[in-house]
A and B are shown apart, each in its own frame.
Chain A
Amino acid sequence: MARKMLIDGELSQTNEAEEGHFDFDLFVIGAGSGGVRASRFSTNFGAKKVGICELPFHPISSEVIGGVGGTCVIRGCVPKKILVYGASFGGELEDARNYGWELKENLDFNWKKLLKKKTDEILRLNGIYKRLLSNAGVKLYEGEGRVVGPNEVEVTQLDGTKLRYSAKHILIATGSRAHSPAIPGQELAITSDEALSLEEMPKRAVVLGGGYIAVEFASIWRGMGASVDLFFRKELPLRGFDDEMRAVVARNLEGRGINMHPRKNLTELIKTEDGIKVRTDHGEELVADVVLFATGRIPNSKRLNLEAVGVEVDKMGAIKVNEHSQTNIPSIWAIGDVTNRMNLTPVALMEGTCFAKTVFGGEPTKPDYDHIPCAVFSIPPLSVVGLSEEQAIEQATGDILVFTSSFNPMRNTISGRQEKTVMKLVVDADTDKVLGASMCGPDAPEIMQGIAIALKCGATKAQFDSTVGIHPSAAEEFVTMRSVSRRVDGAKKPKTSM
C-alpha cells in the first residue's frame, strides 16, 4: 500500500480515509531521535504501515533542510561530543609534559581535518538511521511534512510535488532550532548549527549565553587554542543546576582560560575589517572572529499548519500534550523537543517508546521524568541526577544533609593542573534517601550513569556507604563520603538569587 502511494501520489487524494481505512497506521513528521524511535517501535508493536518524513540532509538546519537523525546526530550531541573530544586533547597534551612527555610548545591543530571527519561520521550515522528505518519496514519520505487534518498529512517533496496521506495517528517530532536575540548586527552572529561546521577555526570567539550549549562551545574553542569570551546574564552560568556546582563550572572555565563576563549582555555587532566588533551593555568593545548566540532554542512548530487543524501550542510554540504525549486532537501526538518538556535525546527516546507502547502496544505508558540524569560536556564536564541542593531544600519537609567532596584528581598530582573535582550528594535526613547527585570533573557523565540507577530506585545513603570503592578511581568518592558538609533545615528554605 505504502509503496503504491509513493509511485502514484495522486492516488492518495482519491483514497479518502474511510473508517478504519488509512494509508498509514502512523505517520511521523520528523526523523530525529524521538521520531525514529517511535516509528521503529510502533512497527515492533504491530503497526503495519508506518511512514515518516524528514527534510533533506544538511549539517545546518533551516525550514527546508534537516536530515534523518535529527538534531542529536547531525547538529547536537554527536558532533558536539566529537568536537569536545578533539578539544580535550589540548588540555591533555599540556598535562602529559609532567608525566615525562616531550612536546613542542605550540602544537598544531588542524580544524579542517577534524571537521571533515566529523561530517563523515554524521553522514555515516545518517545512513545507519535510514537503514534502521527501512529494516523496520518504515517508509521514509524526503520532504517537508505538515498536518492537513486530524488524520491527514501532506509531504512537499524536493521537486515541489505534494503527497497526501491519511493516517490513523499522526506523530509530530520535528524538534527545535536555535533562536537568536534581535540586536543590531544579529545576522553577523552564528548559532550552534554553524558553530559545528565552521570553515575556519576561530582565533577569537565571543559566546553569548549561560546554558549548556554556551559553555560547551566555550570549552571547545578554548581547548583548541582560541581566546574565548563568555557573556551571560546571571551571576553564574547553567541556571537550573545546583548553585554550588554552577560555581565550580564557572571556576573551571575560568581556570581553563575562558574570559567570563557574568551579568553582561551584548547590544550590538558591527562588521569591521578586523572581524566582528562586539558591544556590551557595559560599554565595552571587543573584536571577534566568531560570535555565537547560544540563547535558547524554539520548537519547530510554525510551518506545520497546526493552527488550521486546531492543535494547541503554547507561547513558545511548543505543542501542548498530555502525559501520554497526545495533543488536544486525539489522533495527533507529539514528542521530543517540539513539546519542550525535557529537551534531551534519551528523553525523546523514552517518549517515543512510551508513545509506541501506548498507541500500538496496548499498554498506555507515561514517560517518567523523575531522576533523569544529564550531562554538560564542558571541559571538564558536569553531570547530575535528581535534585539540586536548592530543589531538595525547596521540596523538603525535614532536614537535608549535604555531602560534598572537593579533591585534586590523581592525574593532577603530577600534571600540576590546578583543578578540583567536586562531587555532591543531597540526602533526605529522615528517610536517608539520596535525592540528588552531582559531579564536575573528568569522566563525570560516564560516572553518573550507574549512580542514576541507584537514585532512580530510591537508594539510601547507607546503601552508597555499604558499596565498596573501586580504587583508585574518582568515582569511589561517591561511596566514601562519610562526613556531612552541612545540614539544612528544609523548613527554613534560604533563598538564593544567582
Chain B
Amino acid sequence: MRPVNLTLTLRLSNRIEVPTPQPASHNRQSHHGSRQIRYALFGPSPLIFPAYSYSFLYFPHRIETPVAGVAQNLQSLLKASTLPASPDSPPMAATSLTAPKLTFSPTLQSLYRNLTIPIPLSSSSPSFLSLRKTLPSHHSRSFSLFQQPRRQFTARADSDNGTESPRQYDFDLFTIGAGSGGVRASRFAANFGASVAICELPFATISSDTAGGVGGTCVLRGCVPKKLLVYASKYAHEFDESNGFGWKYESEPKHDWSTLMANKNAELQRLTGIYKNILKNANVSLIEGRGKIVDPHTVNVDGKIYTARHILVSVGGRPFIPDIPGKEYAIDSDAALDLPSQPKKIAIVGGGYIALEFAGIFNSLKSEVHVFIRQKKVLRGFDEEVRDFVSEQMSLRGIEFHTEESPQAIVKSGDGSLSLKTNKGTVEGFSHIMFATGRKPNTKNLGLENVGVKIAKNGAIEVDEYSRTAVPSIWAVGDVTDRINLTPVALMEGMALAKTLFKDEPSKPDYRAVPAAVFCQPPIGNVGLTEEQAINEYGDVDIYTSNFRPLKATLSGLPDRVFMKLLVCAKSEKVIGLHMCGEDAPEIVQGFAVAIKAGLTKADFDATVGIHPTAAEEFVTMRTPTRKIRGNPKSEETKDQETKAAAGV
C-alpha cells in the first residue's frame, strides 16, 4: 500500500466502464460489481472519502480496446512505413489493465475540480488481477456493444444523485486535423476509453484550405517525403565517394525525377492508408471534410453537426510566402516536394532548415542552387559555429549563398524563366523560385474567434501548459500552437493531452532537451542549448569542439568534414548542449539526447568507452576543452590540436 495522488479534475466522462461484459439491461448488477471491485482493491484499508462521493465512485478496470494481435500487426505495418515515431504504436498490451480510475458525474466534477485527494492505493491488487483472468476477451467484441451500456449507465448514476441530466454528446473528443498530433491524441484517447471522432480534409500532396489528408504535414508534405528526397539525392554524393573506394561508372549516373516522384507518391498513398487504418483500429471515427467550430462543444463538418465534450484543434501550419510582386510564380515546400520536373536552376529564399534541406536535395541532383538569406548566416537560432560550418560545407558542395539579400519581386521573362529582384540586384534565369520563408498556423476560418479561443498575432492558438485554449473545452496541439514545431513534439503534446483528458493523469509536455535535426547535406543534429544560450544561462561554460575529416573522406578525397561540440556547465559538470554537423548526425544525436535529458555529466561521457571506429566515439573522447568561458569576458583558449590528431589513441 502506498499513497497515490489521484487528481480528480479533468475527467468528465459520461460513461462508466462495465467491469464485466454484461448485457445492457444489467446495469444495476454492473454497478454492484464495480463496487465490489473497489472493495477488493482497497482491501482492509478503509478509504477516507467524502460520503457523497460514494455512489459515484467506480473503479472500472479498463482494458485497452484494440485487440493485441491487431495492434501488433499494425505496428509492423507502421514500422514498414517508417514512421518510427509512429503516430501510434499499439496500446500497451502487456499492461492492458491500467490503473483504476475514478469517475465522477459532471456535478461532482465541478465540486472536485482542482481538488487533489491522496488515497492509499495498492498498485497491484491480487484480487484485481485475478479478476482480469476471469474475463473473457470481451474487449475483442465490438465497440458499439461496449459503448451503449456505458452511456445508459451514466445517466442512471446521475439520476441516482438527483442532479440535472447531463448533456449528451456525440463524442468525448472531436479532433480537427489528422496529422501527427491529432492522430496521436485521438488514438490514445480512444485507448483510454473515450469515444473519439476526427475530421480531416481530402488527400492532396499540396495543402490548401480544402485539401490535406490523413497523416498531415509530416507524412504528406514534410518529414517523410523530404527525407525520401534526401535519400534519393544523397546517392549522388555516394557515387562521388564510391569513386574513391574503387567503384567506377562508365558514364555519370543519371537521375530520373519522374521515377522518384512516382515512387514517392506511391509511398505517401500507402502511408495515408496506414494512418487511416490506425484510426479505424483504434475505433476513432474518421470524418472527411473541413471542420469548423460552432460553439465550445459543437463542430460543423461540411454541414453536418457533431457535439463533443472536448474539441481538439490540431490543424497544423502551412508555408507562408510574403506578399511581393510576382509571388504567384513562386513555389513553396508543398509544391517543391511534388514538382513535375526537376529544377534546372532554382532560387531558394530563406535561411531556415526547410530552405537548407531543399538546397541540399536539388544541389545533389545537380540543379544549380542559389540560396537567398536576409541575414548574414543561415539557420538563425542554431549554434553560431554550426551555422558557419554548415554553410561552408554546403558551399563546398556547390550551393551559392546570397547573404543579406531580401527578395523584392519576381519577374517572368519571355522565355519563361524567372528573375529574382533583391535589394542588391537581380539574378536571372531561374526555372523555379522557392520560398521557404516560414510557416503560419492554419487558424483561419475555423470559427475560433467566435467561440472565444485566443489567437496570437502570428495566428497561433494560445494554450496553457496542458494545451488548453481560453475556452475550457477546446484544446490545441502541434504546429497550430506554434510551440516547437516538430512531429515528435506534436506526438508528445497529443499523448499528454490524451492522458490529461482520459486517463486521469494531467500531463504537461516537457520541452526540455528536445533534440532536433536538419536534413541538409551534411545533416545537423543537436540537443540542448547553443553556446550563446549556455553562456547566457550559466555564465561559466566549458566548450569542447572537434572538427575532423572522417575516415570515409580520407579515402573518397572529398572535402567532407565533421563538426562536433559539447557544452558543459562548469559548475555542475552537466552536459547542457550537444551539436553535430556531419554524416549521420541525426542518428548519432538521438542516444546522446537520452543522456542529456537524463542530466548526465561530462565525466559520465568520459567514462563511456568508445565504439571504434565511428564518428560518434568522438563525443566520448573529447578530453581538452577548446574554450573555457568564465564570468569575466576573457575566455581561455586551450586548443589542443595534438589531441585531435590522436585519433583517439
Contacts and interface: CB of A to CB of B under 8 A. Distances in A.
A368 B487 CA distance: 39
A186 interface: no
Contacts of B264: 414
A78 B649 contact: no
B587 A475 contact: yes
Interface centre among B227, B586, B619 (most CB of A within 10 A): B586
Interface residues on B, range: 35 or more
A453 B605 contact: yes
Interface centre among A36, A78, A451, A476 (most CB of B within 10 A): A476
A65 interface: no
Interface in A31-67: 33, 36-37, 40
Contacts of A129: 649
A410 B82 contact: yes
B588 A449 contact: yes
A472 B620 contact: no
Given A104-B250, A471-B84, A482-B92, A411 B231 contact: yes
Given A125-B647, A346-B648, A450 B594 contact: yes
Interface string A459-498: 1000110111111111111111111100100000000000
Interface in A410-430: 410-411, 413-414, 420
Interface centre among B554, B612, B645 (most CB of A within 10 A): B612
Interface stretch (A138-146, A235-243, A326-334, A371-379): A371-379
Interface string B597-626: 110100011011111111111011000000
A100 B262 CA distance: 9
Contact of A470 (B91, B267, B593, B614): B593
B79 A406 contact: yes
A463 B609 contact: no
Contact of B587 (A40, A413, A473): A473
B248 A109 contact: yes
B224 A452 contact: no
Contact of A471 (B71, B241, B486, B589): B486
Contact of B649 (A107, A132, A375, A470): A132
B614 A445 contact: yes
B611 A452 contact: yes
Interface string B235-269: 10011011011111110011111111001100100
A110 B248 contact: yes
B79 A405 contact: yes
Contacts of B83: 472
Contacts of A110: 246-248
B246 A452 contact: no
Contact of B584 (A92, A443, A451, A467): A443
Given A453-B592, A457-B604, A470-B593, A85 B552 contact: yes
B228 to A, nearest CB: 6
A148 interface: no
A203 to B, nearest CB: 16
A446 B93 contact: no
A122 to B, nearest CB: 11
B583 to A, nearest CB: 9
A113 B591 contact: no
A341 interface: no
A469 B594 contact: no
A471 B487 contact: yes
A472 to B, nearest CB: 5
Given A107-B247, A454-B600, A447 B254 contact: no
B43 to A, nearest CB: 23
Contact of B513 (A89, A383, A452, A467): A467
Nearest to A128: B645
A467 B593 contact: yes
Interface in B203-226: 218, 223-224
Interface in A187-242: none
A118 interface: yes
B357 to A, nearest CB: 12
Contact of B590 (A92, A111, A475): A475
Contact of A484 (B94, B223, B597, B608): B94
Interface in B523-541: 525
Contact of B598 (A132, A349, A414, A463): A463
Interface in A148-166: none
A464 B595 CA distance: 9
Nearest to B603: A457
B149 interface: no
A389 B581 CA distance: 34
A484 B270 CA distance: 27
B595 A450 contact: yes
B232 to A, nearest CB: 4
Contacts of A107: 247-249
Contacts of A448: 591, 611, 616
B334 to A, nearest CB: 18
B516 interface: yes
Given A86-B246, A99-B231, A482-B92, A368 B607 contact: yes
A475 to B, nearest CB: 3
Contacts of B609: 344, 346-347, 350, 371-373, 452
Contact of B245 (A37, A86, A459, A476): A86
Nearest to A99: B232
Contacts of A368: 607
Contact of A132 (B587, B620, B645): B645
A483 B89 contact: yes
A474 to B, nearest CB: 6
A283 B94 CA distance: 49
B283 interface: no
Contact of A446 (B489, B616, B649): B616
B85 interface: yes
A467 B648 CA distance: 29
Contacts of B525: 470
A262 interface: no
A442 to B, nearest CB: 8
Interface in A307-352: 344-347, 349-350
B267 A414 contact: yes
B242 to A, nearest CB: 4
Contacts of A284: none
B588 A446 contact: yes
Contact of B586 (A118, A373, A409, A473): A473
Contact of A456 (B248, B510, B608): B608
A346 B588 contact: no
Nearest to A475: B590
A298 B611 CA distance: 22
Contacts of B75: 405, 483
B587 A443 contact: yes
Given A99-B263, A484-B92, A470 B642 contact: no
Nearest to A423: B84
B590 A469 contact: yes
Given A107-B249, A449-B620, A82 B551 contact: yes
B611 A85 contact: no
B646 interface: yes
Given A132-B649, A453-B608, A480-B89, 13 more contacts: A89-B241, A99-B228, A99-B259, A344-B609, A446-B616, A448-B611, A457-B595, A470-B587, A471-B486, A475-B586, A477-B84, A482-B90, A483-B90
25 contacts: A77-B612, A81-B551, A85-B552, A92-B242, A98-B259, A101-B235, A101-B253, A109-B248, A114-B246, A117-B555, A129-B649, A344-B609, A345-B613, A407-B80, A413-B81, A443-B587, A450-B593, A466-B510, A466-B597, A467-B593, A468-B486, A473-B590, A474-B84, A484-B92, A484-B94
4 nearest CB pairs, A to B? A450-B591, A407-B79, A475-B590, A410-B82
Interface of B: 71, 75-76, 78-86, 89-95, 218, 223-224, 227-228, 231-232, 235, 238-239, 241-242, 244-250, 253-260, 263-264, 267, 270, 486-489, 491-492, 510, 513-517, 525, 551-552, 554-555, 584, 586-595, 597-598, 600, 604-605, 607-617, 619-620, 642, 645-649
